[in-house]
Amino acid sequence: MTGASAGIGSELARGLAQRSYNVVLVARRAQRLRELAEELRLAHGIHADVETCDLTDAAARSELVARLQAGEREVVGVCNNAGFGTVATLVKSDLEREQQVVRLNVEAVHHLTGAFLGRMVERGAGAILNVASTAAFQPLPGFATYAASKAFVQSFSEAVHTELSGTGVSVTCLFPGFTHTEFGELAGVGEEEAAAPEFLFMEAPDVARVGLEAMIAGRRTAIPGLANRVSMLSGRLAPRTFLLPLVRQVTGRR
C-alpha cells in the first residue's frame, strides 16, 4: 500500500484491514504510518507493517521490493496510490519537481506493478489497484505533467489487465476526481479547491471503498461518483479544439 500516510491511501489501508487483510504501509512520513499501523492492529487484529521509502528513488524502490519478496508473508495484492501533481505551465515550473511527478506517478507504478506480477501469476491469484485520476481522460494545460502521468496509469493498467485474462490475476484502475484530501494543498491549489462547488467532491473513504470493491472483484476500472463518470465522458468525447482552450482559460486564472 503506497501513499498510505493520508487521504485515499490511508482509507484503502483501513478498508483492507476491515476485510482482515494484513497490510504493509509505505510512504515517507514514518510517524503517520506508525500511528495508522497501530490503529489497524488494535481495531482489526491484523499484521500492519511499516516501510518508509522515497518511491521516486529507483534504488530505494528496488530495496523495498527485495524486502517484501523475502518476507515471511506472501504479497497477494498491491495498491499503488502514491502520487502528486503540480499546477503551472511547464515553462514556469520547476523542471526537477515535474520530473519527480513522473518518477512517482509513472515509474514507481510501473515498477511496483511489474515486480509482483510474476509470483501472482505463478500462484494463480492476486490483484493490483493502480490509482489514476479523472485527469487521465484529457490533456490539461497548466496541469500537463500530472494529467499525462495519470493517462499513462490508465493505459498501462487497462492493457496489463487484459494481458492477464485467465490467469486469476487482475489490475484495476481507479479514477478519483475531486476528493477531500491533502492533494490540493500539496499541489498549491488549496484556495482554488476550497472555492469549488462542494457537490463535485467525494470523501476519501467512499472513493477507497469503490476502488477496493473493484479490485477484489477483479474489475478493470472503477470510477466513483456520477460527477466523475460525467467528467470521463466529457473528457473523452469533447473535441480537443474546444476542450484545450477552455481548460487553459480556467487554469490560467491562477
Tell me the pLDDT tens digit for each residue of 5-23: 999 999 999 999 999 999 9
Residue found by looking up cell 489487465 in the block: 161
Q: Any idea which of 38-52, 117-131, 138-152, 234-248 has the lowest mean pLDDT?
A: 234-248
162 has pLDDT over 50: yes
Q: Is position 146 annotated as part of the catalytic site?
A: yes
What is the predicted pLDDT for the residue at 252?
A: 57
Distance CA 64, CA 164 (A): 24
Instruction: Give pTM, 2 decimals.
Output: 0.88
Q: Residue 22 class from Cβ within 10 Å (0-12 exposed, 13-18 middle, 19+ buried)?
A: middle
Q: Any idea which of 160-169, 194-203, 210-219 has the lowest mean pLDDT?
A: 194-203
Looking at per-residue pLDDT, the higher value among 190 and 57 belongs to: 57
User: What SS3 class is residue 187?
Assistant: helix
Q: Which of 137, 143, 146, 152 is catalytic?
A: 146
Distance CA 184, CA 121 (A): 37
Residues 6 or more apart from 145 whose CB is under 8 A from it?
A: 85, 86, 90, 93, 98, 101, 102
E strand spans, the chain: 23-27, 48-52, 77-80, 126-131, 169-174, 179-180, 202-203, 221-222
254 has pLDDT over 50: no
- Cα–Cα nearest to 105, from 82, 128, 122: 82
- Domains plus CATH for the chain? 7-251 (3.40.50.720)
Distance CA 71, CA 81 (A): 22
Tell me the pLDDT tens digit for each residue of 133-148: 999 999 999 999 999 9
